[in-house]
Structure 1
Amino acid sequence: MAHVIGLSEKRQADAALVVTEAATNILKYAGHGEITVRNYDEGGTQGLEIIVLDRGPGIANLTSAMKDGFSTGGSLGAGLGTIQRHATHFDLYSVAGKGTALLAQIANASTALADRFQVGVKATPKSGQDVCGDAWGVRRVNGKLWATLLDGLGHGPMAAEASNRAVGVFLQADPADQPADVLRRAHQGIKSTRGAVMAVAMFDADQRVLSFAGVGNIVGIVTGGDEAQHLISTDGTVGYNMRTVRPSEAPWTKGSVFIATTDGLSTRWNLTRHPGLVQCHSSLIASVLHRDFARDADDATIIVVKAC
């Protein structure tokens, strides 16, 4: 993957080393876990993003664990420090007894241009399915960031058809539209499908406002750290039975975090079990919440947008 996206030979070697060290740590300390790899684009910089998750004992002292020579497993203790040195961007989240999550981004450029928005997503299909019936989309228009999240009714290819077609409507929407307008366009555009629940958010950093509209059971919140504001959706199904859409707004300032989930994540998900998580990279936030609250019996998707 590093070769395909154009990373230098050195950066390709860095990626291989990071994955090797991360896998070694999982086997040594947690027994099992997962590593996901994707390409990313932040601030015009493209690279490889590596997310490492486990449900092991966690790290009691993160400061000590980052020092070379520190080890609780009888090794040289160079793993986390090595990963950090070979990554363009590094982030780590761990709570003792609740597992560890690590993010390493690797790019040719050492720094990215300043970006006002940071986006993270984690999506998985229902266990036994090859196709996820959820879908999401992001677009940037006139300095604003738009995001949408959908859950097609049911599972599999027909659910995916409904949700993906709605994403297409979202991506082609008029820049002058509001989130409620996009929902109405999507309602007309996917009437030949089985329908979907859908939420649309528009982030305006200049006006410091988040505009939101949703139909169905997409759960959305915006938080600044201590308190979370729930964003209310209207009952109904886009493409089938959509009532009057009631838009809402919330403050959007530096450090604000927007989180939206489909019902594949337990409705009891919250941030109280994860102190300090909202300070992490958006991709790490999404991956940790998905790890701890996603259900195998349904498609499960979470999108996180952070104001930088």
Structure 2
Amino acid sequence: MEATLSLTDKSGVADVRRRAIHMAQALGLSEKLQADAALIVTEAATNIIKYAGQGEITLKSFLEGASQGLEIIALDRGPGITNLASARTDGYSTGGSLGAGLGTIARHSALFDIYSVPGNGTALLARIADSRDGALNGFQIGAKSTPKPGQAVCGDAWGVRQIGTHLWIALLDGLGHGPLAAEAANRAVSIFLLAELSDKPADVLRRVHQGIKTTRGAVMAVALFDTDKRMMSFAGVGNIVGIVSSGSETEHLISTDGTVGYNMRTVRPSDVAWSKGSVFIATTDGLSTRWNLNRHPGLTDRHPSLIANVLYRDFARDADDATIIVVKAT
């Protein structure tokens, strides 16, 4: 369940509020949480119109750990917030908005985060849920996935699997776009979810290669995070771009040329150190291959959902299916 609403004038504020309440009701959230959702999207949407002129709000259901509910992402390309500390103070407003303040929004959220760089827009995350326990065991995960404009289905897919202190992530891009690409990607995810617990990323790729030969094929990456060994293992085939950022160090992950299900060569796996604060980011080619973190100071300190949405906002090519998945060690 997901909807993205563009904001270009004041009429959009009422529309996004209605959609948020309707989605909260559909998710079975209480009347109090429905009111929280209405407050948050109204303030966020009003701020976008007043300070940025235009932007968008994405409403989506989420399930993470013991927490499930409604996720709100507000994005704009406006002037940004110069003083976040003041903006988080109750009653603070420089443009005639509700003055609820980011502090009030935070208190009405099970999870709240914000990222803003002066001159480079603002991104806000709020989750509405009964539980505040929203992290998987040792991990936070965020993703953004959209079909090619004009297409009803997305040819990209991703999957998550966790057993104890081990987490597996798969990212797929079915060749081309549309239903046939989606068939290849989704079948690959199904095989990934049934892999043996002892399998390494390269083993999973080989299983998928055999299992999707009747489809048009896909490019694919698999990552295995082991918090006990403080390591991440990665293997990819095709043009999936992946990195691991740890503090000031960034490790670029190398995929093997080829197509899973068609002409997969010998896979070259790689291992990277993984510790608290490490961030894994992987994207399909719907994002520019030149995306980087250089003009996003402090972004990796934010929640993975914000990281994914900010990078999508700034680097999506709008010419193909696009997916970005982010995993952060907690």
Greater shift after overlay, 277-286 or 4-13? 4-13
Q: Deviations over 1:188-232 (max 9, x none)?
A: 111011110000001111111101100001001001121110111
Is 1:242 matched with 2:256? Answer: no
Structure 1: segments with no counterpart, 5+ residues = none
Distance 1:50 1:75, change over 3 A: closer
- Letter paired with 2:312: H
Is 1:109 matched with 2:131? Answer: yes
After superposition, residues 177-216 of structure 1 pair within 5 angstroms as: 177-216=199-238
Is 1:273 matched with 2:273? Answer: no
The question of whether the paired residues in 1 share the 8 Å contact of 2:47 and 2:97 is answered with: no
Once residues 189 and 135 of structure 2 are traced to their aligned partners in structure 1, the CA distance between those partners, rounded to angstroms, is 28
Distance 1:207 1:245, change over 3 A: same
The question of whether the paired residues in 1 share the 8 Å contact of 2:167 and 2:225 is answered with: yes
Please report how far the alpha carbon of residue 112 of structure 1 lies from its aligned counterpart in structure 2 after TM superposition: 4.8
The question of whether the paired residues in 2 share the 8 Å contact of 1:262 and 1:302 is answered with: yes
Greater shift after overlay, 98-107 or 27-36? 27-36
Q: Secondary structure at the match of 2:24?
A: coil
Once residues 19 and 78 of structure 1 are traced to their aligned partners in structure 2, the CA distance between those partners, rounded to angstroms, is 12
Once residues 4 and 146 of structure 1 are traced to their aligned partners in structure 2, the CA distance between those partners, rounded to angstroms, is 30
Is 1:137 matched with 2:159? Answer: yes
Aligned equivalent of 1:44: 66
Once residues 136 and 112 of structure 1 are traced to their aligned partners in structure 2, the CA distance between those partners, rounded to angstroms, is 19
Once residues 182 and 68 of structure 1 are traced to their aligned partners in structure 2, the CA distance between those partners, rounded to angstroms, is 50
Aligned equivalent of 1:307: 329
Please report how far the alpha carbon of residue 170 of structure 1 lies from its aligned counterpart in structure 2 after TM superposition: 0.4
The question of whether the paired residues in 2 share the 8 Å contact of 1:190 and 1:239 is answered with: yes
Aligned equivalent of 1:172: 194
- Letter paired with 2:172: L
Please report how far the alpha carbon of residue 114 of structure 1 lies from its aligned counterpart in structure 2 after TM superposition: 7.0
Please report how far the alpha carbon of residue 82 of structure 1 lies from its aligned counterpart in structure 2 after TM superposition: 2.8
Aligned equivalent of 2:32: 10
The size of the alignment, in residue pairs, is 308
Correspondent of 2:141 among 104, 113, 119:
119
Q: Secondary structure at the match of 1:24?
A: helix
Q: Deviations over 1:93-140 (max 9, x none)?
A: 001111100000111124457731111000111122111111111111
Please report how far the alpha carbon of residue 33 of structure 1 lies from its aligned counterpart in structure 2 after TM superposition: 1.1
Once residues 285 and 215 of structure 1 are traced to their aligned partners in structure 2, the CA distance between those partners, rounded to angstroms, is 24
The question of whether the paired residues in 1 share the 8 Å contact of 2:258 and 2:265 is answered with: yes
The question of whether the paired residues in 2 share the 8 Å contact of 1:210 and 1:250 is answered with: yes
The question of whether the paired residues in 1 share the 8 Å contact of 2:299 and 2:307 is answered with: yes
Structure 2: segments with no counterpart, 5+ residues = 1-22
Q: Secondary structure at the match of 1:56?
A: coil
Once residues 59 and 322 of structure 2 are traced to their aligned partners in structure 1, the CA distance between those partners, rounded to angstroms, is 18
Please report how far the alpha carbon of residue 75 of structure 1 lies from its aligned counterpart in structure 2 after TM superposition: 4.0
Distance 1:120 1:70, change over 3 A: same
The question of whether the paired residues in 2 share the 8 Å contact of 1:42 and 1:115 is answered with: no
Q: Deviations over 1:164-196 (max 9, x none)?
A: 111111011111111000000000111011110
- Letter paired with 1:289: L
TM-score by length of 2: 0.90
The question of whether the paired residues in 1 share the 8 Å contact of 2:146 and 2:321 is answered with: yes
Is 1:295 matched with 2:317? Answer: yes
Once residues 6 and 111 of structure 1 are traced to their aligned partners in structure 2, the CA distance between those partners, rounded to angstroms, is 18
Distance 1:195 1:111, change over 3 A: closer
The question of whether the paired residues in 2 share the 8 Å contact of 1:152 and 1:160 is answered with: yes
Q: Secondary structure at the match of 1:53?
A: strand
Once residues 300 and 204 of structure 1 are traced to their aligned partners in structure 2, the CA distance between those partners, rounded to angstroms, is 27
Is 1:30 matched with 2:52? Answer: yes
Once residues 101 and 46 of structure 2 are traced to their aligned partners in structure 1, the CA distance between those partners, rounded to angstroms, is 8
Q: Secondary structure at the match of 1:3?
A: helix
The question of whether the paired residues in 1 share the 8 Å contact of 2:73 and 2:126 is answered with: yes
